[in-house]
Chains A and B, each alone.
Chain A
Amino acid sequence: AQRVTQPEKLLSVFKGAPVELKCNYSYSGSPELFWYVQYSRQRLQLLLRHISRESIKGFTADLNKGETSFHLKKPFAQEEDSAMYYCALSGATNKLIFGTGTLLAVQP
């Protein structure tokens, strides 16, 4: 079965601390993995996707097929990073399977 697991509902860190939002997936083929973010009072939007291997707003995510993980990392958290983060998986179509999300709270 296709599934995305985000074990943490809430992650609270201080400004300047490293951040790692965990994401594990279950998929029989070769998945496409994404991170979507929702800032307060804004719509859900794409943060990054593994195929692009890019860094967006200082965030990176590496696909680890052995551990079936796609953790989101940032070395130094900023207050403006506070948001809801969703990990998502896509198979052969644009059907996205989302995790339950992790609320990142960056304290000053």
Chain B
Amino acid sequence: ETGVTQSPTHLIKTRGQQVTLRCSSQSGHNTVSWYQQALGQGPQFIFQYYREEENGRGNFPPRFSGLQFPNYSSELNVNALELDDSALYLCASSLKGPNSPLHFGNGTRLTVT
């Protein structure tokens, strides 16, 4: 069984630019969630995808968008980057349902200058 992998591990962008983060889900998992973790904080829910459709969204603006592909890989896109977007972005895959545990990747550390 393969785990959740994220790429890249680190990324530096300039304010106003756009970024795409990638995630490969654990084999057999049909749900992917993205979280933002600022320094010293717990992860905050951005959104979740199930069968390639958005299935819930947290309190993030529309410039945060995502995609899920048939092979269970997914992307997080952020447009018009702001300094406050600097954070660790975590991808987590799971089976659908409230009690299915999340399997996290190692995250992508995004720095916006």
Which residues of B are in contact with A by a Cβ distance under 8 Å? 4, 31, 33, 35, 40-45, 48, 55-56, 58, 90, 92, 94, 96-107
Contact partners of A95 in chain B: CB under 8 A: 33, 45, 48, 56, 58
Which among A4, A51, A95 has the greatest number of chain B C-beta atoms within 10 A? Answer: A95
Contact of B104 among A32, A43, A93, A94 (CB under 8 A): A43
Q: Is the interface of B mostly helix, strand, loop or mixed?
A: loop
- Chain B nearest CB, measured from A70 CB (Å): 14
Contact partners of B43 in chain A: CB under 8 A: 44, 86, 96, 98
**Residue pair A94, B102 in contact (C-beta under 8 Å):** yes
- For the complex, what is the distance from the CA of A46 to the CA of B102, rounded to whole Å? 7
Interface pairs (6), CB distance under 8 Å = A43-B105, A44-B43, A45-B103, A93-B48, A94-B33, A100-B41
**Residue pair A44, B98 in contact (C-beta under 8 Å):** no
